[in-house]
Amino acid sequence: MSWNFKDQRVLVAGGTGGLGRAVSLAFLGEGARVFVTYRSDAEFAALKKDAGASAGLLQGYRVDVTDEAAVQAMVEKIVAGHGGVDALVNTVGGYAAGSPLWETEPEVLEKMLTLNLRVGHLLARAVVPVMLGQKSGAIVNVAARAAVDHAAGAFAYAASKAAAVAMMDSLAADLKGTGVRVNSVLPSIIDTEVNRKAMPQADFAKWPKPEEIASVILFLCSREGRVVDGAAVPVYGGQ
C-alpha cells in the first residue's frame, strides 16, 4: 500500500541510519519533502545518491540532536524556509546491555536516557508548537520491544525505552483535540547490517526489515492513519 505525501514536510531525526534511511527513502518515494539529521557526511551523501530523482526533495542537517539550542535552531530554519513541519519521526537511539544492574556504571544509564528519551523530548519540544500553530501534525517515536519486554542485563536500555513510550503517551494526551497525533513503534531486533554483524548466528529471516517498519511509520503519519493516536505499535516480525 502507498500513501501520498506530496508537499508534506517531514523531519526524520537520524535519517541516515539503518532504520532512518529506510524511513527517509519511503517518504521521498511518496513525494514528501524530507529533512534529515545526520552525523556522518558519507552517510548523507549515500542517502542522497539512493534518493535518485527525489534527491531534490531531500535536505540534511548535521546536528547534535542532544543539544537543545541546535535542535531548536534547525526547526526554526525549516519553518522559515518551508512554512512548517507536517510529520516528525525520531529514529535516533542507542543500545547498551550485557551486565546486571549492580555491575552497570551510572554513565551507561545516562547515555541510554540521553539517546532514547531526552532526544525525543527535545525534538517534540521544538516541533509541537509549530504543529499546534498549523492545527495538524503527526509524531512517531521509535522505541523498542524492550520497552515492554525487559530482558536480563539490559536494564538501562529497557528503562529508557519504557520511559520514551510513557513520554509519548502522555504527549498524545496533552495534544488530544488539537489535530496533532502522537504514536510510538516498538521494533524487535531490526534486520540491519550492524545487527547481523553483531549476531551472526541469529535467524535473520525472523527480524523485521527496515522497509517493513518504515511502512508502518508512513501509515501512522498518513491521512489513513488519523484514527490511531496514543498507540505503541509492536513491530516484531517473526520473533
Please give the pLDDT value at position 238.
73
Distance CA 194, CA 173 (A): 35
pLDDT of the residue at 201: 87
Residue 4 lies in a domain: no
Helix 155-174 and helix 106-113, axial crossing angle in degrees, nearest 10: 30
Q: What is the pLDDT of residue 2?
A: 63
Does residue 105 belong to any structural domain of this protein?
yes
- 16: burial class by Cβ within 10 Å (0-12, 13-18, 19+)? buried
Q: Are 185 and 164 in contact (CB under 8 A)?
A: no
Note the pLDDT of residue 1.
58
Q: Is residue 50 part of a domain?
A: yes
- Count of domains for the chain: 1
Phi, psi of 10 (to 5 degrees): -120, 125
Is residue 1, in this structure, part of any structural domain at all? no
Q: Which residues have C-beta within 8 Å of that of residue 38, sequence separation ≥ 6?
A: 14, 15, 16, 44, 47, 60, 61, 62
Q: Is residue 141 part of a domain?
A: yes
Residue 2 lies in a domain: no
- Compute CA distances 209 → 15, 91, 95, whole Å: 16, 14, 18
Q: Which CATH number belongs to the domain containing residue 148 in this structure?
A: 3.40.50.720
The three state secondary structure string of the chain is CCCCCCCCEEEEECCCCHHHHHHHHHHHHCCCEEEEEECCHHHHHHHHHHHHHHHHHEEEEECCCCCHHHHHHHHHHHHHHHCCCCEEEECCCCCCCCCCHHHCCHHHHHHHHHHHHHHHHHHHHHHHHHHHHHCCEEEEEECCHHHCCCCCCCHHHHHHHHHHHHHHHHHHHHCCCCCEEEEEEEECCCCCHHHHHHCCCCCHHHCCCHHHHHHHHHHHHCCCCCCCCCCEEEECCCC
**Residue 111 resides in a domain:** yes
Which range marks the domain in which residue 136 is found? 9-235
Whether 3 maps to a domain, the answer reads: no
Per-residue pLDDT of the chain (239 residues; tens, 9 = 90+): 567 899 999 999 999 999 999 999 999 999 999 999 999 999 999 999 999 999 999 999 999 999 999 999 999 999 999 999 999 999 999 999 999 999 999 999 999 999 999 999 999 999 999 999 999 999 999 999 999 999 999 999 999 999 999 999 999 999 999 999 999 999 999 988 888 998 998 999 999 899 999 999 999 999 999 999 999 999 998 77
